[in-house]
Amino acid sequence: MIKRILQVFLLGVLLASPAFAQVHAGVRAGVSGDPTQFFFRGHIETPPLLENLTFRPNVELGVGDGTGLLAFNVEFAYRIPITRQPWHVYIGGGPALVIASRPVPVNHSGDGSDVGGGFNILVGAQHKKGLFTELKVGALDSPSVKFAVGYAFK
């Protein structure tokens, strides 16, 4: 149900003609704790919905610690400009759909998959040319902490 709502919402954002022309994409990589993994993420970012507030949904793939993780994060980011500097700070957060896959021991039944919900709070700094770094703290089924470096294409 949540997945279907997210799909419809994302489709609506992408098909809105003025918004589609101004949507930016980005990529990042980093490390997370609990589970201890490397992760790779891709995101899109809409033009501001309100002053300095953007919608920034992303898909993340985590590997390591005997677990494969796929997360769909529905996040919003609020930009805080720094006067006369090429950098700005942003804060944000939002819910997540987290799918974890673990190896199943030979004598156990099931497929080793677990689907759950999570919530993330994030803070980052981004250069006007696109380079950024981000720290994210997760709750529920989201990884507990993540650090990433990325690039937003403009």
d(CA 120, CA 88): 20
pLDDT of residue 25: 92
Indicate the pTM of the whole model.
0.76
- DSSP strands (E only) in the chain: 24-33, 37-45, 53-55, 58-64, 67-73, 76-81, 87-101, 113-127, 131-140, 145-153
pLDDT digits (tens, 9 = 90+) for 23-49: 889 999 999 887 788 999 999 999 999
Upstream peptide bond of 35 is cis (omega within 30 degrees of 0): yes
User: Residue 10: enclosing H or E segment and its boundaries?
Assistant: helix 2-15
Q: Give the gyration radius of the chain's Cα atoms.
A: 16
**In this structure, are residues 118 and 94 in contact, taking their beta carbons and an 8 Å threshold?**
no
Domains of the chain as residue ranges with CATH: 2-104+111-153 (2.40.160.20)
Closest CA to 94 of 154, 137, 49: 137
d(CA 11, CA 64): 31
Work out the pLDDT band at 17, boundaries 50, 70, 90: very low
With a CB cutoff of 8 Å and minimum separation 6, the contacts of 103 are 66, 112
pLDDT of residue 65: 79
With 0-12 CB in 10 A as exposed, 13-18 as middle and 19+ as buried, what is 78? Answer: middle
pLDDT digits (tens, 9 = 90+) for 53-89: 999 999 999 888 788 888 999 999 999 988 899 999 9
Query: What's at 87, amino acid-wise?
Result: W
SS3 86: coil
